Amino acid sequence: MISLQNVTKRYGAFKAIQSISLNIKPGEIHGIIGSSGAGKSTLLRMMNLLEKPDEGDVIINNKKINHLKGKEIRNIRQSLGMIFQGFHLVGNKTVFDNVAVPLEIAKIAKKNRTERVMESLRFVGLEAYKDKYPRQLSGGQKQRVAIARAIVNNPSVLLCDEPTSSLDPTTTMEILEVLKQINQQLNVTIIIVSHEMEVIRSLSERVTVMEDGQIYEVVEIEPTGVNKSKKGAATFVEQLKSGGDSNPS
């Protein structure tokens, strides 16, 4: 599936990612958690080469992709869906047209697009909103449109960069439910970055805890008690192992 091998990313003298290796299992929901600046979004963005590693390799389906260029990279990206905290919908396109864009980019024949777009919109429960514009939607609905857009190309992996950080708790749970369904019903591997413990806990099977651009620990989720005495990455790990639901101080 996706594998990162000794990847490093620098911004000038600052090392955002320091020689990280990580294997994502096919079909899993993998959480990445850490404090602000821990490097979790950078790590996620390396998986579809929005950020290119300065060292190390990004491997997808046993193929090194970090040396690919142009059309080859674009083809890889078309097989990986991605959603963001800010939704990033095109405001001048309707919901339908927003969802149809990846199909246009992949040069899917026009006659085949409608059915696939409607199928995606049905999946996220927004079939009736196809002619609306993003400004007419709530935050949660916009994120659903973004999800529909991300899955319309039948990707094998969905990368989620803080997808619920700008949403209220109720809407957050609805979005997480949609992501679970995508994983279970469409068999899509999901990698989700968040600084919210509750989001990561309720969704992930395995969690990578990051600190200062490095992996602090990879945790298998087991629901039990809470320990709030530790700080930083240690608190994340403790809470993940014990079933806690609050963020570290």
Partner 1 sequence: MIPILPEVLVEYQSEIWESIVESSIMVGFSVLAALLVGLPIGTFLFLCRKGQLLENRLVFSSLNLLVNIIRSFPFLLLVIFMIPFTRFVMGTAIGTAAATLPMMVIAIAHYSRLVEQSLLDVPKGVIQAAVSMGASVKDIIFKFLYVESRSALVLSMTTSTISFISYSTIMGVVGGGGIGDFAIRYGYLQYRTDLMVYIIIIIVIFVQIIQYSGITLARKIDKR
Residue ranges in contact with partner 1 by CB under 8 A:
48, 50, 71, 73-78, 80, 82, 84, 86-94, 101-102, 104-106, 133-135, 146, 149, 153, 159
The nearer residue to partner 1, 101 or 234, going by C-beta atoms, is: 101
Are the CB atoms for 48 and 82 separated by under 8 Å? yes
CB of 146 to partner 1, least distance (A): 8
The nearer residue to partner 1, 76 or 167, going by C-beta atoms, is: 76
Output the CA torsion 185→119→106→58 (10° steps): -20
The nearer residue to partner 1, 75 or 112, going by C-beta atoms, is: 75
The nearer residue to partner 1, 105 or 186, going by C-beta atoms, is: 105
CB of 100 to partner 1, least distance (A): 10
Burial class from Cβ neighbours inside 10 Å (0-12, 13-18, 19+) for residue 143 reads buried
CB of 226 to partner 1, least distance (A): 35
Half-sphere exposure of 68 (CA within 13 A, CB side): 21
3-state class of 162 per DSSP?
coil
CB of 124 to partner 1, least distance (A): 16
Whose CA is closest to 9, among 42, 34, 47, 37?
A: 42
Output the CA torsion 155→143→235→8 (10° steps): 50
- H-assigned helices in 79-168: 95-105, 110-123, 139-151
The nearer residue to partner 1, 72 or 177, going by C-beta atoms, is: 72
The nearer residue to partner 1, 84 or 216, going by C-beta atoms, is: 84
CB of 240 to partner 1, least distance (A): 28
The nearer residue to partner 1, 190 or 240, going by C-beta atoms, is: 190
**For residues 206 and 215, what is the distance between their CA atoms, to the nearest angstrom?**
13
Are the CB atoms for 4 and 30 separated by under 8 Å? no
CB of 67 to partner 1, least distance (A): 17
Are the CB atoms for 53 and 68 separated by under 8 Å? no
Backbone Cα Rg of the chain: 18
CB of 102 to partner 1, least distance (A): 5
